[in-house]
Structure 1
Amino acid sequence: MANTKSAKKRILTSERNRLQNRFYKSTVRTLTKVFLNNLEIYKITPTDENKKKVQTLLNSVYSLIDKGCKKNVFHKNTAARKKSQLSIRFKTV
Structure 2
Amino acid sequence: MPQTKSYIKNSKIILRNRSRNKKYKSAFKKAIKNYLLSVKRLSVDNNQELLNDCNNRLSLVYKSIDKAVKVKILHKNTASRKKSRLTKIMK
Aligned equivalents of 2:9, 2:31: Cα separation in 1: 33
What's the % identity of the aligned pairs?
32
Given that residues 31 and 64 in structure 2 are in contact (C-alpha distance below 8 angstroms), is that contact kept between their aligned partners in structure 1? no
Residue identity opposite 1:45 in structure 2: D
Counterpart in the other structure of 2:4: 3
Counterpart in the other structure of 1:72: 72
Aligned equivalents of 1:66, 1:32: Cα separation in 2: 13
Counterpart in the other structure of 2:83: 83
CA shift for structure 1 position 61: 0.8
Aligned equivalents of 2:27, 2:67: Cα separation in 1: 12
Does residue 13 of structure 1 match 2:32? no
CA shift for structure 1 position 56: 0.8
CA shift for structure 1 position 2: 3.7
Does residue 43 of structure 1 match 2:43? yes
Residue identity opposite 1:3 in structure 2: T
Instruction: State TM-score, norm by structure 2.
Output: 0.86
Note the 1:24-43 alignment, pairs <5 A: 24-43=24-43
Instruction: State TM-score, norm by structure 1.
Output: 0.84
Counterpart in the other structure of 1:59: 59
Alignment RMSD (CA, Å): 1.6
Residue identity opposite 2:84 in structure 1: S
Structure 2 residues not aligned, in runs of 5+:
none
Aligned equivalents of 2:16, 2:56: Cα separation in 1: 30
Structure 1 residues not aligned, in runs of 5+:
none
CA shift for structure 1 position 77: 1.0
